[in-house]
Amino acid sequence: MAFHLLRILLFITSFIIFGIGLSFYILGPDITFGLLLESAQPLVKSPLKISDMGTPNVDGEIRSLAPFLIGYGVLVYLAAKHLHTHIYYVPHLMIVFFASGIGRMISFMTQDDPHPFFVLLLGVELGTPVIILLVYKAVVAKVESQQS
């Protein structure tokens, strides 16, 4: 059961990451963040639009980094697809995901207060890897107990 839950969580995570990366690359950050904010309205009660995402510097930077996000999504997908043989990669992939949350936290501490949507993203970037790693630990513990 835990194995299937882990696989499902990884697949969902990979599709979301890949989709957001592709949207950044094709639509740009201004449109992508606008769409994400609209979809998150039940969680983020803020009438404020996310500003400054359409500037040339931000747009160019995010579009240039989008292929790395797309590639990361593909790696998470491949780990989920071949989980029996690639389970070893799950903690490494989640460390990268968690590190993105740490980077966002550093930004929060060194810059002005962010839009509330980015606080939600911080929770996702720090929480999702922890949840996936807890399920991963349950899978590994079950496998090890079966081998004993």
Asked if 76 and 10 touch (Cβ cutoff 8 Å), the reply is: yes
- Note the pLDDT of residue 44: 85
Asked if 93 and 41 touch (Cβ cutoff 8 Å), the reply is: no
Q: How many domains does the chain have?
A: 1
Q: Which long-range contacts (CB under 8 A, 24 or more apart) does 94-101 make?
A: 94/129, 94/132, 94/133, 94/136, 95/129, 96/72, 97/13, 97/125, 97/128, 97/129, 98/125, 98/126, 98/129, 98/130, 100/125, 101/125, 101/126, 101/129
Burial 82-94 (b: 16+ CB within 10 A, else e): ebeeebeebeebb
Asked if 4 and 16 touch (Cβ cutoff 8 Å), the reply is: no
- Give the model confidence (pLDDT) of 80-118 as tens digits: 999 999 999 999 999 999 999 999 999 999 998 899 999
- Note the pLDDT of residue 106: 97
Intra-chain end-to-end CA distance of the chain, in Å: 19
- Rounded to two decimals, the pTM is 0.92
Can you tell me which residue has the tokens 């780990």? Answer: 79
Does the pLDDT at position 51 exceed 90?
Answer: no
Full domain range(s) for residue 44? 2-147
Length of the chain, in residues: 148
CA dihedral for 49, 54, 57, 58, sign (positive or negative): positive
Name the average pLDDT for the chain: 94
